[in-house]
């Protein structure tokens, strides 16, 4: 039975049900209710919760718990996720799984509290030092967020990689009907530090970084091949294909349905994995398509780089233009998306690529 729940609380409960038994983090709007909920809930299920002195400490506590084989979680937003980047890079270096939730808010520096998608580049490129990627999931509803928590841990353990749940302020703050998943039974990972040294590890100075880098690349190639997820509608015969994720992806779905009803041939690709980017969806696009249009909650246009890359890669014979509708912050209303679509159709908007 679906029950009305606040996004962050439903997400926190879903994490517990997905087997998370350790949380460490530092409060920040719009993600704080996740840690507030887990501050009492972890104890009930025999897990541990630490209110860390900073996001830096939080991610390093996650490193400790994950190294000991326990499903670990941290959540934050904007500047807090910036502070976690060295730790995320370290998790990747050690091949340790973890799930990091970001409920994105708009802005540089301290930023604002508005719901946004300004951190797409940071999350999908690996915002810390080095040569790594994280799997990035970008749900568009509270239910989808909740349903992706168990797969997030499965992916992170299967590939020994960090999974970023790239939400938005809205997804944490709004209430929606939610059906919670069942509890998952978990065991400590086989590589867990137990104090008994069951899992052998070579010394730090004996590591062969060149060999490891090649293996890592093979791993990332396998993820790109096997783990692309997306939703699409109406793209096989579309003149224009929208590309949008998260809550704007939902608004865009509403927009394309209305536009279809008005006789416009439009479709939507809604990435569910922002990395690996759903390149395979682009192969299904109408070869005669006149353009792809991203809908983004940022000012500079970030998603459009990937949309353009893959439309041009999959349709090499034609230089299909890529447009970006950038709404800075807050979910764009369906009527704005529709109005801006007609401006593109009428040649009033310049393509980005």
Partner 1 sequence: MAATRERKVPALVDKPMDFCPGCGHGIVSRLIMEALEELDQLNNIIFPIGVGCSSNLGAGLECDRLHCCHGRAGAVATGMKRVSPDTLVVSYQGDGDAYNIGIAETFNAAYRNENITVIVINNTNFGMTGGQMSLTTMEGQKTSTSVHGRDCSVTGYPIRFPEIVAREFPGAAYAARGTVTTPANINKLKGYIKNALQAQLNHEGYSIVEVLSPCPINWGLSPVKAMERIEQELIPYYPIGEFKKRGEEQK
Q: State in angstroms the smallest separation of the CB of 43 from partner 1.
A: 12
Q: State in angstroms the smallest separation of the CB of 129 from partner 1.
A: 10
**Long-range contacts from 3-6, C-beta under 8 angstroms, 24+ separation:** 3/177, 3/178, 3/179, 3/180, 4/175, 4/176, 4/177, 4/178, 5/142, 5/175, 5/176, 5/177, 5/178, 6/33, 6/172, 6/173, 6/174, 6/175
Q: State in angstroms the smallest separation of the CB of 88 from partner 1.
A: 11
| Part of the chain binding partner 1 (CB under 8 A), chosen from 59-67, 143-151, 177-185, 238-246 | 59-67
Q: Which of 2, 4, 45, 94 binds partner 1 (CB under 8 A)?
A: 94
Q: Which of 11, 63, 104, 268 binds partner 1 (CB under 8 A)?
A: 63
Cis peptide bond upstream of 276, omega within 30 = yes
Indicate the pairing of strand 230-233 with strand 266-271: antiparallel
Q: State in angstroms the smallest separation of the CB of 131 from partner 1.
A: 17
Of 52 and 266, nearer to partner 1 (C-beta) is 52
- Which residues neighbour 261 within 8 Å (Cβ) at sequence distance 6 or greater? none
Print the binding letters for residues 138-157 with partner 1: x by CB under 8 A, - otherwise: --------------------
Q: Which of 10, 20, 24, 337 binds partner 1 (CB under 8 A)?
A: 24
Q: Which of 7, 12, 16, 21 binds partner 1 (CB under 8 A)?
A: 21
| Helix, strand, coil tally for the chain in percent (to 5) | 40, 20, 40
44 binds partner 1 (CB under 8 A): no
92 binds partner 1 (CB under 8 A): no
Whole-angstrom distance, CA of residue 194 vs CA of residue 145? 32
Of 58 and 278, nearer to partner 1 (C-beta) is 58
# binding residues, partner 1 (CB under 8 A): 38
- CB of 331 closer than 8 Å to CB of 288: no
Look up residue 306 and give its two tokens.
């990937």
Annotate 263-294 with b (16+ C-beta within 10 A) or e (fewer).
Answer: ebbbbbbbbbbbbbbbbebbeebbeebebbbb
Q: State in angstroms the smallest separation of the CB of 45 from partner 1.
A: 13
Q: Which of 31, 76, 90, 103 binds partner 1 (CB under 8 A)?
A: 90
Of 39 and 314, nearer to partner 1 (C-beta) is 39
83 binds partner 1 (CB under 8 A): no
Q: Which of 27, 68, 112, 224 binds partner 1 (CB under 8 A)?
A: 68
Residue 95: exposed, middle, or buried by beta-carbon count in 10 A (0-12, 13-18, 19+)? Answer: middle
351 binds partner 1 (CB under 8 A): no
Of 48 and 314, nearer to partner 1 (C-beta) is 48
Of 87 and 246, nearer to partner 1 (C-beta) is 87
Looking at residue 200, the DSSP 8-state letter turns out to be: -
Q: State in angstroms the smallest separation of the CB of 162 from partner 1.
A: 14
Footprint on residues 185-214 left by partner 1 (CB under 8 A): 193-197, 199, 201, 203-206
Q: In the chain, how many H helices and how many E strands?
A: 13, 14
- Which residues neighbour 289 within 8 Å (Cβ) at sequence distance 6 or greater? 238, 239, 240, 241, 311, 315, 320
Annotate 233-262 with b (16+ C-beta within 10 A) or e (fewer).
Answer: bbbeebebbbbbbbbbbbbbbebbeebeee
256 binds partner 1 (CB under 8 A): no
64 binds partner 1 (CB under 8 A): yes
Q: State in angstroms the smallest separation of the CB of 90 from partner 1.
A: 5
Residues of this chain that interact with partner 1 (CB under 8 A) are: 21-22, 24, 48, 50, 52-54, 56-58, 60-70, 72, 86-87, 90, 94, 193-197, 199, 201, 203-206
């Amino acid at each position: 039975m679906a029950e009305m729940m606040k996004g962050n609380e439903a997400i926190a409960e879903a994490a517990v049900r997905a087997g998370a038994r350790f949380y460490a983090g530092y409060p920040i709007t719009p993600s704080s209710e996740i840690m507030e909920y887990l501050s009492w809930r972890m104890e009930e299920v025999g897990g541990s919760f630490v209110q860390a002195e900073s996001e830096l400490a939080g991610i390093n506590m996650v490193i400790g718990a994950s190294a000991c084989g326990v499903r670990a979680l941290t959540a934050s937003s904007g500047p807090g996720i910036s502070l976690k980047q060295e730790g995320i890079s370290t998790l990747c270096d050690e091949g340790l799984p973890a799930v990091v939730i970001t409920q994105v808010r708009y802005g540089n520096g301290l930023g604002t509290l508005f719901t946004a998608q300004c951190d797409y580049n940071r999350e999908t490129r690996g915002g810390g030092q080095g040569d790594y990627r994280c799997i990035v999931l970008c749900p568009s509803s509270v239910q989808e967020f909740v349903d992706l928590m168990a797969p997030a841990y499965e992916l992170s353990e299967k590939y020994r990689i960090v999974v970023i749940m790239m939400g938005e302020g809205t997804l944490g703050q709004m209430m929606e009907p939610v059906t919670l998943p069942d509890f998952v039974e978990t065991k400590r990972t086989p590589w867990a530090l137990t104090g008994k040294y069951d899992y052998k590890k070579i010394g730090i100075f004996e590591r062969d970084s060149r060999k490891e880098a090649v293996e890592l690349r093979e791993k990332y190639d396998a993820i790109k091949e096997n783990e692309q997820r997306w939703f699409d509608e109406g793209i096989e015969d579309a003149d224009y294909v929208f590309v949008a994720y998260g809550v704007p992806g939902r608004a865009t779905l509403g927009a394309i349905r209305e536009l279809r009803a008005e006789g416009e041939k439009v479709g939507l690709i809604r990435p569910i994995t922002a990395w690996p980017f759903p390149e395979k969806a682009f192969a299904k696009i109408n070869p005669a398509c006149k353009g792809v249009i991203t809908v983004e909650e940022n000012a500079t246009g970030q998603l459009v780089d990937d949309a353009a890359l893959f439309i041009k890669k999959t349709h090499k014979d034609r230089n299909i233009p890529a447009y970006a509708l950038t709404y800075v912050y807050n979910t764009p209303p369906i009527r704005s998306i529709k109005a801006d679509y007609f401006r593109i159709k009428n040649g009033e908007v310049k393509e980005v690529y």
